[in-house]
Structure 1
Amino acid sequence: MRVLVTANITPFLHGGADYHIEGLTRALQAQGHEALCLRFPFNYHRPQDINALMQFCDGLDLNQPNGQHIDTLISLQFPTYGVLHDNHRVWIMHQHRSAYELYDAATASAEDEAQRTRIHAFDQQALSRISRRFANSGRVAERLRHYNGLDAQPLYHPPHAAERFYSAEAAGYLFFPSRIETLKRQSLLIRAAALVRSPVVFLLAGDGGQRPHCEQLIAELGVADRVRLLGRVTEAEKRAYYAHSLAVFYGPQDEDYGYVTLEAMLSAKPVITCTDSGGPLELVQHEQTGLIVEPTPEAIAAAADRLYREPAQARALGSAGRQHYHDLAIRWDQVVTRLLA
């Protein structure tokens, strides 16, 4: 079967979305399909560029481009799900979040509101005409239902190189790998470091626009002996940090899905997440595979202290998390089967 996957691309920027896109394309090929990914340049900073790409996608018929028949089209991202095909499936990573749950009406201009209206109208038309709708997670499906009144089936996929994660003897640290950005809330963990009573240490991997703020906060709170900013690490280094961690913290604000949770489960480590963290709440079972706490430094510090004081309990939660991952059958072959059914 000839399958075309559509998605976006930002040149020279590689992250979780790229692993998702490339993983699906490889999985289709591994099952014998002739699969190709068509990626569109997407500049989300300029409304005129977003509008131009919406208009382009809305008029693009990909049934037989230049006479080449395509059996199935799978679209992953806004606005590429606006293209036309008779056998079209959409697997939504997320919609254009700044026009939905991240939209701030209090600070928005008249043009911001007009742009939001245009994007909502585009999504409503494009997604309504696709009968086979899937979402990256239950949280993404909830947003689609809330804002657009459309249903989608949650469909989980594995993180990059899932088979390479492993578990080893734990050291006394919590690990938190992620881009250092406001929505990831590294500041919560840094503030918790000032409140912990045990000798637990926090290791934060990654880089991003909020790193200077985090460095300043560490200095202001005097927690440089408890919090280390590791910067960017290799994939092998990341797996090793997971393997030797006591537990993993992942408490973003309303995350879509979150590979960190899955990677921690594969490493047999318990996850501390927050009650408003979105996607991780679908995977972390409170007191069974991890701890779900309020998004406050006090609650996070208490959870970290508890796991440090109770290492046997931390190991038990982590082992249960790894088993839960496998029970969910989060595998690429399952993804392909459901998408093409």
Structure 2
Amino acid sequence: MNIVICHTQIPFVRGGAEVLVDGLLAALREAGHGVELVTIPFKWYPREQLEAQALVWRSLDVSRLNGRAVDMVICTKYPSWAVRHPHKVIWLVHQHRQAYDWYGTPLTDFGISEEDRRARRVILETDALGLGEADRIYTISQNVANRLNRFTGLTGHSLYPPTHHDRYHHTNYGDYIFTISRLDSAKRVHFLLEALRKTRSEVRAVIAGSGPEEAALKARAVALGLQDRVEFTGRISDDEAVRLYAGALAVYYAPVDEDYGYVTVEAMRSCKPVLTLPDTGGVLEFVREAQNGFICPDPAGLAQRMDELYQDSGRELAARLGQAGLSTSRSVPGWAEVVRVLTGTALPV
């Protein structure tokens, strides 16, 4: 088939959505499909840009391109699903969360001005139109499917995205807790610092990534007297991430109501216990309390679990949880199965 992937791109930012699109492109080509990626840079400010960009996508009719029929389109993020095509499939990474579950919380950038209310209405109307036209809707997790249904009444089928490579492995259970993410408030890396301050052992933390909270997190580590026990690596390569996963004692990952979270699966593929919080959304589709990780109620509880793992000199607890996590990670389909589902040649997994 001739397939077009429609994706919204934020220039100079590479996250899980871009990893997903790269993997999907490669997998569709491997399966013998003709596939092209269409992206439009996403700008959410000033507010009128949200409507303008929805109109740009809506102006695109991609049923035929360069004289060739396009058999289907696969759309990922707002407002790419406004594109016009008779056979539209959605693999929903997430909706524009500032207008949905984050609305009315400190995580949104929408206020109560008339301009903001209008922009939010545009988003809701664009989603109702574009998502409502889809032949099929898949979501990257059950959490995203639940959110979609709660706010739009539409049904999505969970289809987990595979990791973007298979190099994850285990070497040893070292003396550090590893975390990797964009450093913003929604990722709650500050909880790891607060927990580390409460530990009784000499367990360390290695924090990879960059973002708007990086300077504040570094300052907080110093204020807590943790400068000798916390390493901030900045952005790292895939090879370095694999190495740090492989030698970690455990992995901390606790974003607010996460959509999916590659980090959870990557940690489990590396045989590492995952430390998280009770409200992390998609992360909890994988983490089982005291089976393949720990769901900690607060920084004090997190500190206790880190001490337990560190003080077990034989690392038997970490190994038991890590092996269970490896088994859990096998519930994520491979790319060949994802392609069969999205192209309609297999039932949803």
Secondary structure (helix, strand or coil) at the match of 1:281 reads: helix
Instruction: Tell me the CA shift for residue 329 of structure 1.
Output: 4.2
Q: Aligned equivalents of 1:278 and 1:299: distance in 2?
A: 19
Instruction: Tell me the CA shift for residue 14 of structure 1.
Output: 2.4
Greater CA drift, 30-39 or 11-20: 11-20
Closer/same/farther in 2, CA of residues 105 and 281 from structure 1, 3 Å limit: closer
Greater CA drift, 71-80 or 47-56: 47-56
Write the letter of the residue equivalent to 1:143: R
Q: Aligned equivalents of 1:300 and 1:199: distance in 2?
A: 14
Instruction: Tell me the CA shift for residue 66 of structure 1.
Output: 4.6
Closer/same/farther in 2, CA of residues 105 and 191 from structure 1, 3 Å limit: closer
Q: Aligned equivalents of 1:109 and 1:228: distance in 2?
A: 42
Is 1:308 aligned with 2:310? yes
Secondary structure (helix, strand or coil) at the match of 1:288 reads: coil
Equivalent pair of 2:148/2:154 in contact (CA under 8 Å): yes
Is 1:292 aligned with 2:281? no
Secondary structure (helix, strand or coil) at the match of 1:27 reads: helix
Equivalent pair of 2:48/2:119 in contact (CA under 8 Å): no
Instruction: Tell me the CA shift for residue 145 of structure 1.
Output: 0.6
Structure 2 gaps, min length 5: 345-349
Q: Aligned equivalents of 1:11 and 1:57: distance in 2?
A: 17
Is 1:93 aligned with 2:97? no
Greater CA drift, 59-68 or 191-200: 59-68
Q: How does 1:178-327 map to 2 (within 5 A)?
A: 178-294=181-297, 296-310=298-312, 311-326=315-330
Greater CA drift, 234-243 or 9-18: 9-18
Q: Aligned equivalents of 1:45 and 1:276: distance in 2?
A: 29
Sequence identity percentage: 36
Secondary structure (helix, strand or coil) at the match of 2:89 reads: strand
Count of residue pairs brought into register by the alignment: 338
Q: Aligned equivalents of 2:39 and 2:228: distance in 1?
A: 44
Partner residue, 1:53: 53
Structure 1 gaps, min length 5: none
Partner residue, 1:13: 13
Instruction: Tell me the CA shift for residue 218 of structure 1.
Output: 1.1
Q: Aligned equivalents of 1:157 and 1:206: distance in 2?
A: 21
Secondary structure (helix, strand or coil) at the match of 1:112 reads: helix
Instruction: Tell me the CA shift for residue 105 of structure 1.
Output: 7.1
Q: Deviations 1:161-203 (Å, cap 9, x if unpaired)?
A: 1x11110011111101111110011110001111001121111
Q: Aligned equivalents of 1:105 and 1:256: distance in 2?
A: 17
Greater CA drift, 30-39 or 223-232: 223-232
Instruction: Tell me the CA shift for residue 13 of structure 1.
Output: 2.8
Secondary structure (helix, strand or coil) at the match of 1:176 reads: strand
Q: How does 1:27-38 map to 2 (within 5 A)?
A: 27-38=27-38
